[in-house]
Structure formats: structure tokens, C-alpha cells
Structure 1
């Protein structure tokens, strides 16, 4: 009796493999709707249970979002750093890993991203304007704790996103998203903004400015060291003592 089950899963995985390749290559565009079940069955000579199992495989991987009802269908979702962040968050959360552990990892990888930004030959065009614009945005809203926290997190995310190394962008970016989701959620719930004094917020933004200047000068070592020193001071906000909660990534990402 075992052989039919093995065959059933093998066929389902073959269909999932083919559809996965199309999604990752962009042949099936992000946000597009997969053909109806009857059309897929004409293309793939498998049974309905095998096809539906293939859909469940891709849905579990986050590559499809199945909508039910009259407007139903399987919506293509290309993988993003947010997917990675959520998956990492699930693993860390299941092991009750503290958010401070994520912070210690960021202490290693974010300064490396700052150095990579400084090493880019096109940094004056592709990196520095973005970082300066985000810095100016944060300075403009520094008196509002929630707004300046959100703007500050965008600076940190951009530091990673513009480092030029795709592997670091995905891996470090996932860690940044985990941290951003928690810190932004915390700041939006704080009724008394004085818990982080204005002088402390300005000092944080001055750290950002110095890192940006080092990147603009092409000084990778200084950008690395300034970024590391800043993170040691900046990661001690009151909400950083909790356990990683991946649901915060899902709640925070749509409006981000």
C-alpha cells in the first residue's frame, strides 16, 4: 500500500518543481493568477489530488497564496526578504530565542554592510543620496518618537539593501526586518515619548550622519567601526528584552 502514496507525492513534487521554477524565473509574474485547475490538468497529466498537493506544497513555501470563494485562485508570490524574515522568526520563536540574540547578530553583519556600501565605486550615486534623504527625514520628525523610530529603521534597512552583495541583502535584510518590526511596534505603543529623551534621539541621528560621511568618503573601515559602535548603544531600547515574535513581521510588513 505504500507505493501509491510514494507515487502520489512524487508526481505532486514534480508539478511543484516546474511551477516553482517558473515563479523564481519570473515567467509567472508576482501577483499574477495561476491558470484554473482544468487548464493546469491539461498541461500536467496528473490526477486532481496530485495537482492540489502541488498547490499545497507551493502555498506552504509562501510562493502561492490561495484565495477561496468567487474571486478565488492561486496568486503568485515571489520570495522576498520578508518571507525569509518570517521563516527565520518562526524558527527562532519556536526555540524561544530572545530579540537580543538577533541584535547581536546584527552587530556582526550590519557594520559589514556599511563597509560594503563604502567600497562601492558608484556609492555617490547609488548609496549616499538615499541614506542622506532618509537621515534628513528622520531629523525632520525627531520630536515624534514613533515617527523618528520608523525613519531610523528605514536608514538601517537601506544600509543593508544598498550594500551591493545580494546574499548579505537577503540574510542581513531578514534580520533587519525582524528587529524593525519589534522596535517599530514598541515605539508606536509608547504613550510617553520622553522614555527616549530628545537629546538621545539626536545623538543616534548624529551617529547615522557620521556613518554616511564615512561611506561617502569611501572609508570602509571607519564606516564599519562607526556602525558597530552605534549599534552597541542603540540596541538597548526597553522593548528589546522580549522573545522573537514572527507575527510582528506579518503585521508590520503590509504597511511598511
Structure 2
């Protein structure tokens, strides 16, 4: 038998693999509620953001259902032909951190080197975000245009391709499902306000301010998507469920 290369697994996939195994083996019965995020994270020895990415993956695959105000429940077995392949999907929260690092420097370079026409093009995309939001149109495409035009203002085609690739990664099933739990008019207005600070720094040709504003935008996005999946669930319900939760076996919690 030929030796095959070992693929290093993303952490959220390691977590989702273990939870999926427990579900398939009946440790969590169909229709039962999973332990709280807090308890699962403690038992698995992982951060809650990493656990959250794993839960989103299991939801996309159809193994669990997130019910706002109630909990996370185990679904009936997924038919093979309906399974979704997530092997190429990056973790949404890791994507945001990567964008924070890269696009902060992109904003710095755009404020420093962007031409008058290029800055005007970014401003046009920003105005489109506002008008779309006001008209009840999803501002996502205008948001994408803003970030790509910002990269174009650096004069570096490699950065344009990288920013485009990173932004388009959020169009995958994992990020879409995560976004669906937190999307709304208020969230978009907050995001537009965050873009306004980047835009103001560009107008003033202030690279340091542009970098700080972009990093702040991405940091807020990370915090936003790191919130509990069950926002209305609350500590009171979590405390009530602890005595009757199913424990994750220790042998299944040794993540690397």
C-alpha cells in the first residue's frame, strides 16, 4: 500500500468530527438537546469560538439544528446524497483574523498611495452600501466592491487578488450559515458606520488612522460572530440543563 500524505486538519473540523461521531454512535440521541456551548468547550478543551465553528459545520451538514431561544438539537441521520462536503472550507473566524491582518495594511497603503480617482472609486462603493441598506437591498455586493477597490488603491495586483479571495471565502456555506444567525439591519448599520471611519481616514490621507479603522472593523466583526449561537438561551437555562446533560467521553476530547 503506498504511503499517503497526511492532511493537517483545521481545529473546527477535528471538533466537528468528534461530535459527529458521538451523534452517529447515539451518545446524543435524535431530538435531544446538546450541552451548552460552555460545557462542550470545557469538556473538549477548546475555545468557544472554535467550538462555534464546529457547531456551524454540523448544522450545515444537517446533523444539528440551532433553535433560537431554545438550544441546539440533534437531527435525524443525514442521507448520504444530501451531505455537504466542507473539506475545503476555512473557519469563518480564522478568515476574519486573516483579513484583519492583511486588510489593515491594505488600508494603510491605500491611504498613502491611492490616486484621487481610486479613492473616489472606494467612496462610490461606500455610498452604494448606504443606498442599498436604505433601500432594503443586501449591501454585501457593495461591501465586497468597497474592499476590492480599497485593494486596487494600493496599486498591487497581488493584494487585489488576495483580498478578493479572502472576501469570497465568506460566501461559502459555513460563513453564510454563521452570518444568518447574526445578520440584520442593525448589524449592517454598524458595519457601515465602521466603514465610515475607514473612508474618513482615506479622505484625510491618514495611513495610520486607516489601518486602525480597518483593524477595528474586523475586530468588531470577530466579536460579533463570536457571540453565543443561542443568544436568548441565557445562563439560567444552561444551569438547568447541566444535571441532565450527556457527558463527552474523555477519550473523545483529546484534540490536538
Which structure would you say has the larger Rg? 1
What TM-score bracket applies, with the shorter chain setting the length? 0.3 to 0.5
Q: Which has the higher contact order (CA 8 A, sep 6+)?
A: 2
TM-score (norm 2): 0.47
Query: Greater helix share, 1 or 2?
Result: 1
